[in-house]
Structure 1
Amino acid sequence: MPTSIWTRHHVLSLADFTSAEYNTVLQTAASFREVLSRRTKKVPTLQGQVVANLFFEPSTRTRSSFELAAKRLSADTLNFAAATSSLTKGETILDTAKTYLAMGTDMMVIRHREAGVPQAIAAEMDRLGVRVGVLNAGDGQHEHPSQALLDLFTICTILDPDQPRLELLQGKKIAIVGDILHSRVARSNIWSLTASGAEVHLAAPPTLLPQLFAEFVSDDGRAGGAGEKPQIQNRKLFVHWTVEPALQDADFVMTLRLQKERMTQHLLPSLREYHHRFGITRDRLKLCQPNVKVLHPGPVNRGVEISSELMDNPQFSLISEQVTSGVAVRMALLYLMGSSKV
């Protein structure tokens, strides 16, 4: 395992992650990837600890990945389902978290449709003076840190399978295409990829990518304009309302799901029109570098964000690798949080 000191007790956002922290996660995940390739895929590093998966909205990949990661580390797991919980009887979210605390939980993995819920639970744990780590598994339209870290790990292992590290992305061009407006994955990936020195290009219809994109983008389409947060300054982030400039000479393309469940207005003429203008296909990849790779955090709407033929093509698609990387990266996060002494 890497010898770097890890002092972060909660993982709620990537906005303040340092280069050293990114590299610690990448190196630790690489160690666990080797563990997962063995016949015996279990290690005793978190034996005796309890990980509670508190998912207040549906999930397949993230929830299963965290559960498997905890079990591979020999932790005990508790799984929460909102539909069959005391929330239906009026219990508050904080009281639910305190119930799991009383059961001896050491770490809580939290997903909620409202932004800020993991932060609120982390603040309550800190207020109570307990050493319970909180990991944000996706909150509203805010962030999804572990997904961005597994995307980063997937890309870095393509560039150097033996030593994935942040600096490998220096000077690379990465296009993020799709429903960026509603995507917590996009927000976390913007933080991680621009921190690596990569040039990140966002592309979507104007209704799914306003010119002034939340806290990230200035009037000229670059990050770090007047009034921007200091940590965003000097990062290479660009916005396009057509897909071709984003794809031109791109090394990696990340396409995002149209999140119809979060759309409160009619933001697209039709799914067919969206695919015609922004869908990622073999023909569109001709604009990219010859060895371009395609990512998608899932679940995928086949034939909308990406063609089925391209999704299933191992020459280009990293979608299966992302799922595999997810277990190793989430093992790394749980291990680092569980081993923290600060």
Structure 2
Amino acid sequence: MTDLPATMTAIGLPTPGGPEALVPETRPLPAPRAGEILVKVAAAGVNRPDVMQRKGLYPPPPGAPDIPGLEIAGEVVALGEGVAGFKPGDKVCALVSGGGYAEYCLADAGAALPVPAGLSMIEAAALPETFFTVWTNVFDLAGLKAGENFLVHGGTSGIGTTAIQLAKAFGATVFATAGSGEKCDVCRRLGADVAIDYKSADFVSVIKETTGGRGVDVILDMVGGSYIARNYEAAAPRARIVQIAFMEGSKVQIDFMRLMLKRLSHMGSTLRSRPNAEKASIAASLREKVWPLIEAGKVKPVLDQVFPLAQASAAHARMETSLHIGKIMLEV
């Protein structure tokens, strides 16, 4: 690491608060520990958990940097002890447990993947958080299969745009909810068979009508709140519902009779605090099953807006408007 700088610019969070709480700071350059790579960051993704962390509602797990940012793309510049499969100069994207909003970032080598052929660094940095999340929840946990009906809420979010494309690529019939006619059009262009404007239509009614009363087999939900009971209504017998966030709140009063009568499975998961070995296993699945689809142009990240690193606060303000379609990115 002799030719690397001693310090770097990173986005700090001295006190929790609004978007203005994010401020550029000078930090010491991190050194890779065993099993880690140091990446010179070209771009980083902005995600809802970053917003939660900024508000003081989602502290980093023990040992993770206090700098926000859960996904990056860039060039490997140093290796920790025992790292195989990467060398300095390699172009990678990686899921990280924090530290992405910076000029340099550490990543566990197991959670790093080569930048897919044909993608820019900004596009590659838009992959890890949403693709790891969708793969582990929709395909590993819920076991979505070809021929099944799949519903994702928030169809034009980073998670939503990824889930629509992957579910479609693997042979499911895709339903998506979104908050405007324009957003529904985007969902359909990405492969959704049915897009429902939740502001003007009831998704439960539309799904029951479209499926002849049967419902959907797998639901990916980041809304929670009132959607939990409605998901049970929209679910087919033996459906699997996966909860990955609670934008409308995690505490609800609910009648579980529907869960029992339909023999539903309601599961939940987080990604950030999982052991490195689990993240490496997801990365291996993505490399084998999804990276070929990306390189063939069948699946691609949807980008909303790109901000310079120093304008991370503006990127967060954009996310909080909920007007974005796809991923909001930072360019270093």
Scaled by the length of structure 2, the TM-score of the pair is 0.44
Structure having the larger proportion of residues in helix: 1
* Higher RCO (CA 8 Å, separation ≥ 6 residues): 1
